[in-house]
Structure 1
Amino acid sequence: MGAELTERLSDQGYAVVVIARRAESGGVSSLGDEGKGKTLSVDLDSSDTADFLRESPLKTFEDAIETVGTLIRPFVEPELGFDIYSRTSTMMSLPFVDESDMFSPPQIDNEEAANFLSMMWRSKLMILVNAGPGATTLTLTPKAITDSDPIKPQLNINPGMLCVFCMDRYKFSHQSEGKALSLSAFFLDAPREYVIDNITGDLTFLTGTVSGPPQPKTDSIPVVAMGERYAFGVDEPWKAWVAYAKAGWDTITRHPQQRWDCDTYYDPDADQTSGLSYTCHGGFSDGIELFDCKFFDISPAEARGMDPTQRQVLEVSYISLQGAGWTKKMLQAKPAQIGVFVGLDKNEWNSLPKDIAGGFAASSGANAITSNRFNYCMNLKVGNFVSSLFGSHLTAVATSPAFQDLNRRGEFEIGWHWHILGRYNSCVASFVSSGSAPERRIRVAELAKRAGGHSAECERGQRPRIVWTEKLYSQGMHSHLGRCFTYNFSADGYTRGEATASTALKMKPFEREQGDYGVVAGSQVNQDGRSASLTAPNGPAQERCLQAVIKEVGMKPPEMDTTECHGTGTSLGDPIEIGAYKKVMSMVPRHEPVVITSSKSNIGHCEGSAGVSGFLKCVLLCLYGEGTPNCHLNCLNPHLDMSGFPGILTTENVTFRAEASFNGVLSFGFGGTNACSTVWGVNQMTSRGVGTNKDLYSLFIRKMQDAPPQEVTIVGEDWEDWEMGGPDKDARFNDVFEVELDPDGVVSYWKKDKEALRGSCSAYFLTGTFNDWRYDEMEADPNVPGLYFSTFRIAANVEEEFQVVAGQDPKMTFHPSSRTPQKSAAVRGPEETKRENCWCVRGAKGERYRVEFYRSETGAATVSWLKEP
């Protein structure tokens, strides 16, 4: 039945089917030319459709429409040259009974007109069902008038009958006698596919359009480079992110033998007077003895006695320097105005007995030399200093108004602020306490002799071993379990971790396209003053510091996505910090909770590097648009009051609500200094973001899809006379359009003229089995430029094969990729090919077929054929 219906459509353009002899109520239709009546669109499969309607006799006619589409779909592509991609909802229509029923139609807006016109351009078949009780007359008017007296079929569609006809061959109108309920629907071809070949011009607005809070209006201080060196080989920012967000790891291990014999100094029951350590865990960086002294123009003799902190500062700082576009060679040729600020809260190297007598003794372990040495090696001219401030404290100092004023006055060639934070916080207690044995002192001195650069004098194949002093066990600050159990029930102190981190900041406009990571939105520092004790944290002072940053940035607490808290893992400090944070965050109601994280649960307390490690983690949170989990959190610290607090302590990843985000870091000093910094940035690293690493092609497509509809010019009541911007209904394969997308999201199209095409000529010929592969010239259609046609008769064979040739030149043959009966087969050529690559027409002996070949100005070619009456 499907084959027969398709054959009727191919031959005469319409087919009439009897559904049932007795009609029942139900219907669907569009009214056509000059049609008037009441209409209603209905989807019987929708969950919003009333049950009585779904169970009514309308279901019979709806099923008939669906069945016709199912029957003919396998046959329409080879016969009619299109596919039934989808169908519209059913439209019910009923004629007006009298003038009192009539009303003025509503004014159509541009979006409705554009959607309707786009749908009608795709409409290939229409199906009309008469559900009765009156009869319907359907008039079909051919669109292509080939003679002076065109035939207009008038079909009587009685109740219980349907008609399906080709939209590209006929216009239609129908009238009903009395109350005749009609149902209609359109079968649609596949939507057009467009390919964007090249994107040029100013595309900054593509990557600049982000969701979430806008960039703060404070002075722009972007983070332009980062350098990191933590335990477990984490020496690049992306490795740190994988560890924080995906691996859920911590870097804490038992004291390695390369440093010292842990069993000699460890006693789980050690007290304050034993001179031993009650913990044997920490986060240790690998390869601290390795140093490329020649790169920094330092002799092996000097490197042997250098504080490893100086070595690490040189190497990690240079990572950030080079990441921002500066190299040693460039700086040696011309010095730069770059400030260096180093955070260093202790010096354990100087506590070790070692032989560094001579000219290098004074500079080998002096704290002040740590930053001076980098200026010296890299030829930097701006002042530098070493501070005991933690990382985020230095961030606040380096981004202070005084420093920014130097940039404005041109004191700095580039507005650089460096944070190169403390080095090696190892957990060793070997000879500090009064109970240390003399033989232990001797062993430490022997090990220290071998500590030095990789070029230092060492026995072949033996790695140097470094021992550090410990001053904090006697104060009970360390965890007996050897982890930072931040916010957990078992929190009993912190574990030390080794880290060196650096970041390069520059006062300039934030340019994501140039590789900037994020923006320092604000930073503040204050002091506890005279509080409970010298080292006890102070909640009110922490509140004031956080409030000052929020005020500086010009944001509201609900805009904060994540806060990287100090979170050392102490039973007292964590609740005080959360309590202060809760008061600030609860000032304004918010819909989503703020994510609370702490990197100390991963890498331990890095002390001098703790603040900058938290700061760099905030930059990563912005770049990836996710909050990271906290390790070792399975039972909440009972002293934490989370009731009514719009915050969440996560144990899994949390994606942010938007592409842009604010992420802050809280840091508190050993002696009562509080610091807070906030970073603003955009997700540049995942598919949820719009960073420069994302495909501009995809961004452009998204913008085009979100663009408002093209302007429709409504000319008369016939939709075929309407005009709409962009590719029109007659656009062909390989047509080329220039597209302009403005920052407001409006798309404009211009059709581009192509050069003369290969294979274009004034004469095309039909060749095939019907003429023994000779050439019959095709006639040019007088009304359609580029359309050529010819006829042939089916001979004794039931199939005839053919190809189209330009200018009787076999090297200019148009053909399909293989022998096919499908009209929709892609046309290849012009080129030389075998006769086996041809179209075949199946028919009865004596039937005549009209073959049409169309070649557009852009080179698109189509082949079709139609049986003549």
Structure 2
Amino acid sequence: MTAATGGGPDTDALISELRRELAELRSRTPDPGEPVAVVGSACRLPGGADTPDALWESLRAGRDLVRPLTGERWSGVDFDGLDDPAFGRIPRHAALLDSVDGFDSGFFGISSAEADLMDPQQRLTLEAVWECAERAGWTPDEMRRTPTGIFLGVGHQDYLLTALAAGDGIGSRLATGTARNMIANRVSYELGLRGPSIAVDTACSSSLVALHLACQSLRTGESRRAVAGGVSLILSPLSSTLTGRALPMAPDGRCKAFAADADGMVRGEGLGVVALKRLSDALADGDPIEAVVLATATNQDGRTNGLTAPSPVAQSLLLSGALKASGLAPSDITFVETHGTGTPLGDPIEFSALRDVYGATAEDPICWLGSVKANLGHLEFAAGIASVLKTLGALKHGTVPPQINIDALNPRIDLTGQRFAIARQEESWTDSARRYAAVSSFGFGGTNAHAILAHPDAVPAVRQARTAAETARRHAPDTGGPAVLMPLSARSPEALAAHVDRTARALEGAPAVALTA
């Protein structure tokens, strides 16, 4: 080969890599309707919810994680001075992360000087994507130079505003550290990925649109793996000022989705990501499947009463399009995680679309409605993925968590003779083989997204694979259950100690567990 090409070892390696990539491209057979498997997830959400399991525990306990802003993030801000008689008061409440400034820059080989000028949205996203890939069983070596796509809902540039206000110089590191596209691009760069790397801004629907785009990329064969999600941090009082003057905000800081006293949204922050593969690839690779995305859809409100006014017709068309693509009947959907911002007009408009598409008849199975915004506030660019993470928990555990902050139903939402219900306490959901859910996310500006998810047991191909695996296990020889060694590693002694501590907590109550660092 070397003599024929006139090259050397580097040329041979390049040719081998190109041949491998060509063979992989030829092996992909696009199927526009193939389901997509969720094979991992990670998050950083309020209330110390740094894992999907921790988020689920907060939700099933019915916790309201919104807190007063004053003194928690901006101790020296004069909120009263920022009020404007023409526009009213700026928001005084939000659901915030415990911390946004921790980052193990050495783990990623990033200098402390560069890390100091990186938007915390970049830092936290890097860490969360790494964790998500680990949970999916993806190693850095097998991901490097592969068509792995990164699709992230992003929008806020609060860190740039704070840096400029502090007088930090405008240089190349500040530019790469605060540009919105770099939140996705830095992940691809640090992991050496060659798939699409796209930052999505459709406002409140961004992260669910990112999921939609990731599923499309997988189905066409453009990506072999994908990570989708979104991030949204509240780092400057200016963004709260703008939000409070553009949108109705709840004066008491409580999001009251579907409630008679609903009077506006509440801000929240955080991030979430999911690892995705085509279902056939996930089954072939033996991946852990958390849920299956049967269908996604997006559309636009078009011309309405105003640029930010929702369209019930567009919402109905969106839901019916996703339902048709999923191959399910309306009565199959028994849980809908709604957009549910807690506004007196927005919630009834959304309910009317749900009734039109998923209403079926009162004799059909109950369809539970929920909105995670009552617990976490509105995560804006990460709102859709927060809804997805809640839905993944409900699919896994087979229960619907309680909907908080609702005493009486909005009078414009009539459940009489309907199959819809709102859980006031944790409710048992249907058996796993019939567990289908839908998630909605609507954008400020009119871009809407909807996804339909299923428990793995509700998908015939997954059931068959699990049955075959169980049969193989039953016929395997009994080895007596020897002790299992669990190696733990990290790139610094401090990180290893923290890893051991987290693992110990996760294994608490397991028999014969001994951990040493």
Residue in 2 aligned with 1:421? Answer: 230
- Residues 295 and 674 (structure 1 numbering): CA distance in 2 closer, same or farther, change over 3 Å? same
- C-alpha RMSD of matched pairs (Å): 2.9
Residue in 2 aligned with 1:240? Answer: 55
1:636-675 equivalent positions in 2, closer than 5 A? 636-660=409-433, 661-675=435-449
- Residue 585 of structure 1 and its aligned partner are, at CA, apart by 1.8
Residue in 1 aligned with 2:68? Answer: 254
- Residue 261 of structure 1 and its aligned partner are, at CA, apart by 2.3
- Residues 679 and 304 (structure 1 numbering): CA distance in 2 closer, same or farther, change over 3 Å? same
Cα-to-partner distance string for 1:115-159 (whole Å, 9 max, x where unaligned):
xxxxxxxxxxxxxxxxxxxxxxxxxxxxxxxxxxxxxxxxxxxxx
CA distance, structure 2, for counterparts of residue 647 and residue 316 of structure 1 = 35
CA distance, structure 2, for counterparts of residue 375 and residue 592 of structure 1 = 44
- Residues 621 and 218 (structure 1 numbering): CA distance in 2 closer, same or farther, change over 3 Å? farther
CA distance, structure 1, for counterparts of residue 425 and residue 385 of structure 2 = 23
Verify: 1:307 aligned to 2:119, yes or no.
yes
Residue in 2 aligned with 1:91? Answer: none
**Please, which of 271, 296, 306 is the counterpart of residue 523 of structure 1?**
296
Residue in 1 aligned with 2:483? Answer: none
- Residues 262 and 249 (structure 1 numbering): CA distance in 2 closer, same or farther, change over 3 Å? farther
**Please, which of 366, 374, 379 is the counterpart of residue 179 of structure 2?**
366
1:284-683 equivalent positions in 2, closer than 5 A? 284-328=96-140, 331=143, 334-352=144-162, 353-354=165-166, 355-389=168-202, 390-400=206-216, 403-405=218-220, 407=221, 411-412=222-223, 415-425=224-234, 429=237, 432=238, 470-509=241-280, 511=283, 514-587=287-360, 590-660=363-433, 661-682=435-456
- Residue 667 of structure 1 and its aligned partner are, at CA, apart by 0.8
Q: Is the 8 A contact 1:391 1:615 kept in 2?
A: no
CA distance, structure 2, for counterparts of residue 300 and residue 602 of structure 1 = 35
CA distance, structure 2, for counterparts of residue 489 and residue 224 of structure 1 = 39
Q: What SS is found at the alignment partner of 1:547?
A: helix
Amino acid at match of 1:220: P
- Residues 532 and 253 (structure 1 numbering): CA distance in 2 closer, same or farther, change over 3 Å? same
- Residue 271 of structure 1 and its aligned partner are, at CA, apart by 4.3
Structure with more contact order per residue of length (Cα contacts < 8 Å, sep ≥ 6): 2
Of Structure 1 and Structure 2, which has the larger fraction of its residues in helix?
A: 2
- Residues 603 and 525 (structure 1 numbering): CA distance in 2 closer, same or farther, change over 3 Å? same
Amino acid at match of 1:338: T
- Residues 339 and 263 (structure 1 numbering): CA distance in 2 closer, same or farther, change over 3 Å? closer
Q: What SS is found at the alignment partner of 1:575?
A: helix
Matched residues, number: 430
- Residues 590 and 500 (structure 1 numbering): CA distance in 2 closer, same or farther, change over 3 Å? same
Residue in 1 aligned with 2:504? Answer: none
CA distance, structure 2, for counterparts of residue 319 and residue 224 of structure 1 = 12
Amino acid at match of 1:380: L
Cα-to-partner distance string for 1:542-563 (whole Å, 9 max, x where unaligned):
0000001110011101111100
Amino acid at match of 1:673: T
1:210-225 equivalent positions in 2, closer than 5 A? 218-225=33-40
Amino acid at match of 1:604: G
Q: Is the 8 A contact 2:65 2:95 kept in 1?
A: yes
TM-score, normalisation: structure 2: 0.77
Cα-to-partner distance string for 1:499-535 (whole Å, 9 max, x where unaligned):
1100011013254974211110000001111111110
Q: What SS is found at the alignment partner of 1:472?
A: helix
Amino acid at match of 2:189: Y
Q: Is the 8 A contact 1:479 1:492 kept in 2?
A: yes
CA distance, structure 2, for counterparts of residue 683 and residue 266 of structure 1 = 54
Q: Is the 8 A contact 2:137 2:287 kept in 1?
A: no
1:89-100 equivalent positions in 2, closer than 5 A? none
1:772-811 equivalent positions in 2, closer than 5 A? none
CA distance, structure 1, for counterparts of residue 65 and residue 341 of structure 2 = 15
- Residue 329 of structure 1 and its aligned partner are, at CA, apart by 5.4
Q: Is the 8 A contact 2:318 2:449 kept in 1?
A: yes
Q: Is the 8 A contact 1:305 1:361 kept in 2?
A: yes
- Residues 470 and 310 (structure 1 numbering): CA distance in 2 closer, same or farther, change over 3 Å? farther
Q: Structure 2: where are the runs of 5+ without partners?
A: 1-31, 477-517
- Residue 279 of structure 1 and its aligned partner are, at CA, apart by 3.4
CA distance, structure 2, for counterparts of residue 659 and residue 315 of structure 1 = 32
Sequence identity, in percent?
28
CA distance, structure 1, for counterparts of residue 394 and residue 187 of structure 2 = 29
Cα-to-partner distance string for 1:778-823 (whole Å, 9 max, x where unaligned):
xxxxxxxxxxxxxxxxxxxxxxxxxxxxxxxxxxxxxxxxxxxxxx
- Residue 564 of structure 1 and its aligned partner are, at CA, apart by 0.2
Q: Is the 8 A contact 1:273 1:474 kept in 2?
A: no
- Residues 362 and 658 (structure 1 numbering): CA distance in 2 closer, same or farther, change over 3 Å? same
Q: What SS is found at the alignment partner of 1:483?
A: coil
CA distance, structure 1, for counterparts of residue 105 and residue 381 of structure 2 = 24
- Residue 264 of structure 1 and its aligned partner are, at CA, apart by 2.4
Q: Is the 8 A contact 1:558 1:590 kept in 2?
A: no
CA distance, structure 2, for counterparts of residue 265 and residue 682 of structure 1 = 48
- Residues 580 and 621 (structure 1 numbering): CA distance in 2 closer, same or farther, change over 3 Å? same
CA distance, structure 1, for counterparts of residue 256 and residue 226 of structure 2 = 33
Amino acid at match of 1:666: S
- Residues 583 and 317 (structure 1 numbering): CA distance in 2 closer, same or farther, change over 3 Å? same
Residue in 2 aligned with 1:175? Answer: none
CA distance, structure 1, for counterparts of residue 351 and residue 410 of structure 2 = 11
CA distance, structure 1, for counterparts of residue 76 and residue 339 of structure 2 = 29
Q: What SS is found at the alignment partner of 1:399?
A: helix
- Residue 232 of structure 1 and its aligned partner are, at CA, apart by 1.2
- Residues 384 and 476 (structure 1 numbering): CA distance in 2 closer, same or farther, change over 3 Å? closer
Cα-to-partner distance string for 1:93-122 (whole Å, 9 max, x where unaligned):
xxxxxxxxxxxxxxxxxxxxxxxxxxxxxx
- Residue 642 of structure 1 and its aligned partner are, at CA, apart by 2.2
- Residue 285 of structure 1 and its aligned partner are, at CA, apart by 0.4
**Please, which of 262, 283, 292 is the counterpart of residue 95 of structure 2?**
283
1:718-729 equivalent positions in 2, closer than 5 A? none
Q: Is the 8 A contact 1:621 1:663 kept in 2?
A: no
CA distance, structure 1, for counterparts of residue 454 and residue 260 of structure 2 = 33
Amino acid at match of 1:310: Q
Cα-to-partner distance string for 1:10-52 (whole Å, 9 max, x where unaligned):
xxxxxxxxxxxxxxxxxxxxxxxxxxxxxxxxxxxxxxxxxxx
CA distance, structure 2, for counterparts of residue 293 and residue 416 of structure 1 = 25
- Residue 359 of structure 1 and its aligned partner are, at CA, apart by 3.3
Q: Is the 8 A contact 2:90 2:245 kept in 1?
A: no
Q: Is the 8 A contact 2:361 2:418 kept in 1?
A: no
Between 616-625 and 258-267, report the one with greater CA deviation: 258-267
- Residue 278 of structure 1 and its aligned partner are, at CA, apart by 4.3
CA distance, structure 1, for counterparts of residue 182 and residue 470 of structure 2 = 47
